[in-house]
Chains A and B, each alone.
Chain A
Amino acid sequence: MATQESAAANGRTAQVKIHLSSRNEDIQLPQDTGAILVSTEFKRYQLSTLVNRLLDTDQPIPLEFLVNGQFLRTSLDDFLTQNGISAESTLNVEYVKALVPPLHVASYEHDDWVSSVDVLSASSNAAKWAGSAYDTSSQPRILSGSFDSILRVWDTSANIVATGSAHTAPIKAAKFISPTQVVSSGADRTLRLWNFTDSTQPGEQGSLTPTLELYGHKASVDALAVHAPSSRILSASADHTIGLWSTKKSENPVAPENLLPSASNKRRKLSTNSKPSPQRGPLSLLARHTAQVSDVTFDAKDHTVAYSTSWDHSLKTWDLTTSACVDSRSTPQALFSVCHLPDTSLIACGTSAKHITLIDPRASAQTISAMTLRGHTNAVVSLARDPNSSYQFVSGSHDGTCRIWDLRSARSEASERVGESVYVINRESGKGGVAGDGVKVFGVQWDAEVGVVSGGEDKQVQINKGQQ
């Protein structure tokens, strides 16, 4: 091996000592190699080949290399120069499996724009919360809410398992609470809980039956967040409030009378839905935003904490036990989406100004924006975590693309850290017009089994998955 190394670095180029390590058990080196001398001209590919040779794998695994918490995007030499590291010091290089480019798997046609998507699979939150109640051998299910007011559940072979049509206006958000329960909300200002019965046989139809209507918002309910163990639902509405709801009918108070649909509308509704669902009100309405609330999410570690973004440019932290606003951070732009990244304790916020701002919500944080991720060409309206990595997430934007980001792939600019997307997922239906006209992405979800699921203006749910 030593001869190999020396042969590899036989040129007159400078050499640097690197210490290779990995946190992933699958790709640990057989024995500690100690410091290895490599040429500073090595790039990711050469290092990847080197490690693969050391691992003696049958199939070469594409690897990414992290030096000081940053991805190696240039040659080692350039990296050392940019970061001012001496070539004589030993570099601690951590390698991780590279993210494979997500390739298009399938597209599910809808009748109207798709506003929201969610996935039920063994690795999804809903299944994890259900624990043993979820049969891990069952097929993943994809939930899509559409502007034609119909909720659909799909299997992975583009068949509709179940549809639910109780909404009277476009559905804006839909989520699995458990393998048997679904919540959806829309422009008709209501949240609806559904019982989902999965099909047992591949050809058989399942069913979505509305179980509960939740009234309380005075305007369109644009986003939902669920936490099954505490049976809580959060809803973000355009009436500037955040609703806190329970998944259990008994826990929710009576619905406010003035918000119930008027007779004329009710008549219309009755004609389609013979048996009205019970109507309930919110546990609490969190009203501190001064403009429509665009997105809300639970803290991934603490379900009593929630984060919400609004058009009033602020990110607010809520204590759900007291329904109080704990903290508020203002940014220069209207915020359209939020995603909590627990391991880095950062909150990613998609903005109207075409980028994603990473905000440190902790009180000790000095700056509002820890990092800015640039690349989208229109408002970023949806964010979803990578189930496998705490550094990665996917964003859906009105420019018709989904972009995969890695917090470690960033560089420092004048006043802030700026990141670039790792992969861009375009819509299969076409390029779209100016600013993603016609192919806007409204909802995106990332599941370990299914991949990146996104729905948008092209009336399709698109599934992209990296082929391992």
Chain B
Amino acid sequence: MAPQRAGQKRKVVEVPRPKQQEEDDALGNGLLDGAIDDGSSSEDGASEDGSEEEFEEDEDEDEELDSDEIPSSEDEEEEDVRQQIRDLKTRDTKKLTGTDTAKDIASISSGTPVKPLADDADKPNYTIETDANGNERYVYKEIEPNYDSDDSDAPDGVNTIGNIPLSYYDAYPHIGYDINGKRIARPAKGEALDSLLDSIDLPEGWTGLTDPATGKPLNLSREELEVLKQLTRNERPGEGYDPYPDMVEWFTGKHNQEIMPLSAAPEPKRRFVPSMHEHKRVMKMVKAIKEGRIQPYREPTEEDKEKDEQEDFATYDVWADEAPRPDHIMNVPAPKLPPPGYEESYHPPAEYLPDKAEREAWEQADEEDRTRDYLPQDHSALRRVPGYARFVKEKFERCLDLYLAPRVRRSKLNIDPESLLPKLPDPAELRPFPDHVATVFKGHDGRVRTVAIDPSGQYLASGGDDGTVRIWELKTGYCFQRVKLSTTDAVNVVSWRPTTDPPILAACCSDSVHFIVPSASVTTPEAETQAIELITAGFNNPNANQPLKTASGADKPSPSSWHRPIPAHGSQGVYLTISLRSMPKTFVWHRRGDYFATVCPNTSATSTAVAIHTLSKHLSQHPFRRLRGLAQTATFHPSKPLFFVATRQRVRVYDLQQQKLERELQPGARWISSISLHPLGSNLIVSSYDRRLLWHDMDLGTTPYKVLRYHDKAIRSAKFHPSLPLFADASDDGSVQVFHGKVVGDSMENATVVPLKVLRGHKVVKELGVLDLDWHPREAWCVSAGADGTVRLWT
């Protein structure tokens, strides 16, 4: 082995070492060297020995690992490297220390007798030649494979390329390498003519196949072919096997029968006693036969056969006896497929057929994105309808649906959301109500602050920032009269005396109240004289304008004075002027037309803010000694002697006869702008500057029955229609909203409030929209006073 190793080492070492070689040569009798050096220091040798041992171990491991495998070139390389190192060491030791381990000695000693022999044989193992570059080149002899190989059976000239297809070598002239690394030449194939000749002159056993191991044509002998054939047919396991051998009569036939029993033991008792278990089973059968559960076999008659045949072809309705299962949370029936529509017909109407664009869109769409998985197709007759290509897929998908679809019963509240809304009548049924502008009254310069329609419904009075009161004809919008009350102050309120005859118009301008009798074109002379008499009758009253006495008897300045108008007003039809201490913002007539109330919200003295006046006596009274809060507006009850006073946040109801506070309403508004009492007297609407309209039902406590928030800006005024179930409010957002407000006399029924119409048209000027509104006494018409200087009649 050692020489082999040495050979290997040398073969792979790249660096040419002629010197070493020489030394090796000298090593031919290395024994001596070793002997010389043997006695030298052992210290180093011990350490050397350790390292040596390590190497040895490694080597062993490697060899163990590689033992199964064919030694590869890499292994060889490794081996070579180790060998080289070892050589170096040994050489070193030989050179420097001259010591050797026992092993080494042993190996050397063991190899010694062989070596000379091997050396002799090995000498010509390689020859040194000079290659093209002038370097030395070692040319080794061929290895004798059988010498070193375990595989003694390996055939000569076997290809060593391993288990790879021969086709890899198609591009080369050789087909692999033999054990010596020599190329195995591709067997000569000859020319096409030769191969043709070969094919004509078939050799014995020619198969036309190539032996993959040798690349030569594979020839099989006749016997081999026979075996192959039999193997492929599963006929016999191998050569010489006879599937049908003659029977050997071991136990039958003449003289082969056994006469003697195998055992002489007597028959056991159980052979003669009937089995209890069998008896039980038989009795069961007997019982079944008796009960008719087991029918004895009967030859099938012709009828039976026919019936059987029919049954073979019969179809079964799986759901024939399907009973409806009780309604249970777990029993969710499979959803029914919708019935086919027109488009699924074989001959659908033309409108169901897809046009070209639809067809293209359908075809281009992803299968999952299609709204339906078929295209309606038109076939002129049922017999032209082709087979349904999607049948299987469709059934499959249906089954998949049924299988995969979750069967969860959703607990759904079956409530129509509409039914939750309160029943409100349709606005169309609540006609008449104003819905469009009919007349625009133009003429006021600046804001129009107040409007009032006279009790006959023919005329309209308006007052504005220009200090004028105008009387218009309602239908045409013609201005019949214009009364200039002031050049600086605005007319805050105009109000017609509630009885028709004679017509008297009260107008509040600055801190005075003026009573105007309309001109001759509006009233008859008779009515005019009546009105003048009525207004001026109080001048004859001795109690009028009497200065009030204080407790001490001194004169107290009267909060109001009644006097004849100044000449400038008198020529315009003003016949009476009342001067109050502060500016009245509210003027309301009692229904009889003799009393009226004024409210001056800006006054400093709260006791004089609210005053009730008697026209016939020219008397002013201040009913409240002290009023909590700042009075905003007031109104009379239409039938009872009740007086409603609204402060900024409260509405108080006073009984005028008993002179006490009847009740107090809390609308919840921050700043009340106006109040209006329903003609029946039991409902009150309160408008507030904080954009709310509050409906108070007096029977329902002190808080509002309904709060209507429909405006974006402050609400200036709200008013009930005197006869129809309507009310409206005017807001700074420039709109008037009309509501249906039906009040039933029966206290069991609540009032119905329906928003009807938003009347838009007034322009918003300096954040003021509609300042006042009034209703026509009979018709569903209303007028609104706008900050844009116009009055509009809505019908």
Contacts and interface: CB of A to CB of B under 8 A. Distances in A.
A437 B477 CA distance: 9
Nearest to B458: A238
Given A292-B456, A379-B795, A440-B476, A262 B438 contact: no
A188 B521 contact: yes
A291 B778 contact: yes
Interface residues of B, number: 31
Interface in B216-262: none
A259 B795 CA distance: 33
Interface string B746-783: 00000000000000010000000000000000110100
Contact of A332 (B432, B442, B478, B526): B432
A259 B526 contact: yes
Given A333-B432, A434-B437, A189 B478 contact: no
B457 A291 contact: yes
Contacts of A442: 476
Interface in A98-118: 113, 115
A445 B478 CA distance: 22
Contact of B458 (A292, A336, A378, A434): A292
A261 B525 contact: yes
A442 B475 CA distance: 10
Contact of A262 (B442, B476, B528): B528
A441 to B, nearest CB: 11
B476 A113 contact: yes
Contact of B440 (A189, A238, A434): A434
Dominant SS among interface residues on chain B = loop
A229 interface: no
Nearest to A149: B521
A433 B438 CA distance: 11
B206 to A, nearest CB: 89
Dominant SS among interface residues on chain A = loop
A333 B526 CA distance: 32
B321 to A, nearest CB: 56
B525 A260 contact: yes
A386 to B, nearest CB: 26
B51 interface: no
Given A352-B779, A434-B437, A435-B439, A187 B480 contact: yes
A278 B552 CA distance: 66
A168 B440 contact: no
Interface in A250-284: 258-262, 265
| Most A CB within 10 A of own CB, among B438, B439, B480, B781 | B438
B543 interface: no
Contacts of A334: 779
A311 B457 contact: yes
B525 A147 contact: no
| Most A CB within 10 A of own CB, among B480, B521, B526 | B521
B456 A238 contact: yes
A333 B473 CA distance: 19
Interface string A380-393: 01000000000000
A261 B520 contact: yes
Contact of B524 (A259, A336, A457): A259
Nearest to A240: B456
B520 A168 contact: yes
Given A352-B779, A433-B440, A435-B439, A440 B477 contact: yes
Given A168-B521, A170-B521, A265-B520, A435 B436 contact: yes
Interface of B: 431-432, 436-440, 442, 456-458, 473, 475-478, 480, 520-522, 524-529, 761, 778-779, 781, 795
Interface of A: 113, 115, 147, 168-170, 187-189, 218-220, 238, 258-262, 265, 291-292, 311-312, 332-334, 336, 352-354, 377-379, 381, 398, 433-435, 437, 440, 442, 457
Given A435-B437, A440-B439, A440-B476, 16 more contacts: A113-B478, A168-B520, A169-B520, A170-B480, A170-B521, A187-B522, A258-B524, A258-B526, A262-B529, A292-B456, A311-B778, A333-B432, A352-B795, A437-B440, A437-B442, A437-B477
